[in-house]
Amino acid sequence: MTTTATATTTATAATAAATTTARQASVQDAVELHGVRKVHGSGDHAVTALDSVSIGFPRGTFTAIMGPSGSGKSTLLQCAAGLEQPTEGRIVLAGVDIGEQNEKQRTELRREHIGFVFQAFNLVESLTAAQNVELPSRFAGRKVRPEQVAGALASVGLADRASHRPSQLSGGQQQRVALARALVTRPDVLFADEPTGALDTVTSKEVLRMMRMLVDQEGQTTLMVTHDPVAASVADVVVFIKDGRIADRIPLNKDSQSDNAAAVAAHMARLEA
Ligand SMILES: Nc1ncnc2c1ncn2[C@@H]1O[C@H](COP(=O)(O)OP(=O)(O)OP(=O)(O)O)[C@@H](O)[C@H]1O
């Protein structure tokens, strides 16, 4: 597994070495955050959700993002995906500096380069699995060929469920349809915010196994926010956030997921103490 070069850039630390690190990061990272600060609200109600966050997420790797409630995990994901604008700092997604894009260009960038899955599957009940996979692209005025839809469903093990409606599928299968929908345009980065939050242990495992396989077989760069150490244990690396800052970053061993889960749980307990 490639380890990331975490580029910490501040106005005063613009040394030649830092510049070199940043350049190396752009070559290998699918998403980079440089000195990102995000403040929600204003005045007395201002909340700093992210504070000086600088990190790169290497292509083809699976990162889990963990941290106590309110630590900034979802904000980090939303900013990294270009869904929210940082108050300060730069975000580079698929080699493009999001801050230099206008709203229309950002929308295009998101359409072309990211896929998103949430805790809620957000499938349309009256449509088949295949139609659900196709729907967002159709809304965006993009033509997705039937073989692309079939390919996306096959990649999540649902080739034989294309004409089933959500009510005819298990929770795990519905989340896999949502995964296929996120991946049909072959995005550079898959963002997942608590993708197993609404699933039981067995169906969670099914979805996580599929996400792991997509990283291993298709090189799908994946960033997943989770509260669950077992879910995090399938990742290559876990990034811990506390009070809007990166508190730690621990690499995991792909071959020992139960040891990983225990190590991640112990780390979380220390962070929350
Ligand atoms: N739109 C918003 N307006 C005001 N404050 C917000 C907004 N979104 C998030 N926050 C605040 O920013 C901080 C970080 O929120 P965020 O949702 O990123 O945390 P989180 O780690 O994902 O939390 P959780 O694990 O509980 O989902 C919290 O204090 C939250 O209340």
Gap between the Cα atoms of 37 and 51, Å rounded: 5
% of the chain surpassing 90 pLDDT: 77
Task: Grade residue 21 by pLDDT with cuts at 50, 70 and 90.
Answer: very low
Give the per-residue pLDDT at 190: 97
Residue 152 belongs to some domain of the structure: yes
Weakest-pLDDT range from 24-28, 208-212, 229-233 = 24-28
Gap between the Cα atoms of 1 and 224, Å rounded: 17
ipTM: 0.97
Q: What is the residue with the minimal CA distance to atom 29 of ligand 1?
A: 70
Residue 77 belongs to some domain of the structure: yes
Give the per-residue pLDDT at 104: 92
Q: Determine the distance separating the centroid of ligand 1 and the alpha carbon of 151, expressed in angstroms.
A: 36
The candidate with the shortest Cα–Cα distance to 137, out of 125, 152, 126, is 152
Give the per-residue pLDDT at 27: 54
Q: What is the mean pLDDT of residues 52-70?
A: 96
**Tens-digit pLDDT profile for residues 149-180:** 999 999 999 999 999 999 999 999 999 999 99
Q: Determine the distance separating the centroid of ligand 1 and the alpha carbon of 51, expressed in angstroms.
A: 13
CATH number of the structural domain spanning residue 230: 3.40.50.300
Residue 253 belongs to some domain of the structure: yes
Task: Grade residue 243 by pLDDT with cuts at 50, 70 and 90.
Answer: very high
Q: Determine the distance separating the centroid of ligand 1 and the alpha carbon of 191, expressed in angstroms.
A: 17
Residue 50 belongs to some domain of the structure: no
Residue 230 structural domain: 59-82+101-272
**Tens-digit pLDDT profile for residues 174-224:** 999 999 999 998 899 999 999 999 999 999 998 999 999 999 999 999 999
CA–CA distance from 45 to each of 52, 57, 87, 217, 227 (Å)?
Answer: 20, 31, 15, 46, 26
Residue 43 belongs to some domain of the structure: no
Burial of 114 (0-12, 13-18, 19+ CB in 10 A): buried
Query: Cβ of 77: how many Cβ atoms within 10 Å?
Result: 20
Give the per-residue pLDDT at 20: 38
Q: Does ligand 1 lie within 6 Å of residue 70's CB atom? A: yes
Number of domains present in the structure of the chain: 1
Task: Grade residue 257 by pLDDT with cuts at 50, 70 and 90.
Answer: confident
- Please check the confidence at residue 9 and state whether its pLDDT lies above 60: no
Q: Does ligand 1 lie within 6 Å of residue 42's CB atom? A: no
